[in-house]
Structure 1
Amino acid sequence: MNRLYVQTPTSEIIKGVAALLISLLIFIDPAGALMTIATYFGLLALIGGVITIIAALRSHRQGRNFILIQGIFFTLIGLLIVIYPGGTASLMVVLIGLFITFLGAIQLAGYLQMKDVLPAPQLSLIHAILSLAIGLLLLFNPFEGAVLATLIMGAYALWYGISRLYLAWQIHHH
């Protein structure tokens, strides 16, 4: 097993096009995009919470109570976000900042371990550093200018889409 993760041009093209479409939507209406992202996140948490509650109630395993509490927590957070998307949008920026920072750290670790076998190692390193920088920027300035943070997310989605399409091209020609 030489590779832990198999990348195909098709999967990278799908990720790239999806990211480019998201960036386009963000640049067209940044304030609306932030509210939409917050609402979708709330719906995702709400649905995930309800599914987790149902799974916990049907389970007969030992950790059932922990799963039930987790489901209730996600359901309540989802409801709060759906009911008050404006108030939770700034919190959403913090969560996205955490996610992008975590993603950048994982990408950097992956680059350091796989730099000799990656199809585009310099691109992977630049992508990891940009992810870390953008994630930290969102974490340290989330409440001032949530719309600006949304534009930064749009720029990140644009970069991610372009880099995925470039990676698909590299994989195809490798």
Structure 2
Amino acid sequence: MLFRFSQGQSFGYLRGVVMILLGLALLFSPEFTLVSIARLVATLFIVKGALAGISLLLSRGEQRNPGLLLECIIDLGIGLLVLYNPGGTVSFFVVILAIWALLGGLLMAFSFNTLRRVGVTNWGLFMSSIIALSFGLVLLFEPLQGGVALATIIGAFSLVYGIANIISVASGRTM
């Protein structure tokens, strides 16, 4: 018996399978997957920069857009930098996430202190600040291992999301 799927169902199953494959790749080989994703992004930047350069060369006279030159230079520069050093790029983004977590943790700690002074004690806010600060410090001092840990967490999420998506499509509901 052949199964017939609507276009929406086919897309739903495809989305679920892609998320499961991404999840498995991130769970079983997070370093390789992160570097592969960084290289893919680098390739996209290089292609985008090259297309901006071609567009600039093909434009005629007054129609030239000086922004295209800037876009071409920036995209090619970022693409080549990421392609040359994908591990460093992953570490850079992990450090940015670490700084964000540290700032968020500090703001929560200040909020807890301010609320405590007026007589309101929110221990959930205090614990959230401790967790965010700890998370930020770990990511800041061990960015590569932090990136691997984040990739593993994202992989687990992707795997569960993909399975849930397939179950949802099979049962006739959409996610």
TM-score range, shorter chain: 0.5 to 0.7
Instruction: Report deviation, 1:95.
Output: 8.7
Q: Which runs of 4+ in 1 moved over 6 A?
A: none
Aligned residue type for 2:75: F
Instruction: Report deviation, 1:67.
Output: 2.7
Instruction: Report deviation, 1:63.
Output: 7.1
- Identify which range, 48-57 or 162-171, moves more after superposition: 162-171
Distance 1:163 1:58, change over 3 A: farther
In 1, Cα distance between the equivalents of 2:64 and 2:166? 42
Q: Is the 8 A contact 1:50 1:72 kept in 2?
A: no
Q: Which has the larger radius of gyration?
A: 2
* Unaligned stretches of 5+ residues in structure 1: 1-6, 97-135
Aligned residue type for 1:32: F
Identical-residue share of aligned pairs (%): 29
- Could you say which residue in structure 1 is the equivalent of 2:69? 68
In 2, Cα distance between the equivalents of 1:15 and 1:95? 29
- Could you say which residue in structure 2 is the equivalent of 1:107? none
* 2:84 counterpart of 1:83: yes
The CA RMSD measured in Å over matched residues stands at 3.3
Distance 1:160 1:55, change over 3 A: farther
- Could you say which residue in structure 2 is the equivalent of 1:165? 166
Instruction: State the secondary structure of the residue aligned to 1:8.
Output: helix
* Unaligned stretches of 5+ residues in structure 2: 1-6, 98-131
Distance 1:94 1:53, change over 3 A: farther
Distance 1:162 1:73, change over 3 A: same
- Could you say which residue in structure 2 is the equivalent of 1:52? 52
- Could you say which residue in structure 2 is the equivalent of 1:11? 11
Aligned residues: 127
Return the TM-score normalized by structure 2.
Answer: 0.59
Instruction: Report deviation, 1:51.
Output: 1.6
Instruction: Report deviation, 1:20.
Output: 0.8
- Could you say which residue in structure 1 is the equivalent of 2:153? 152
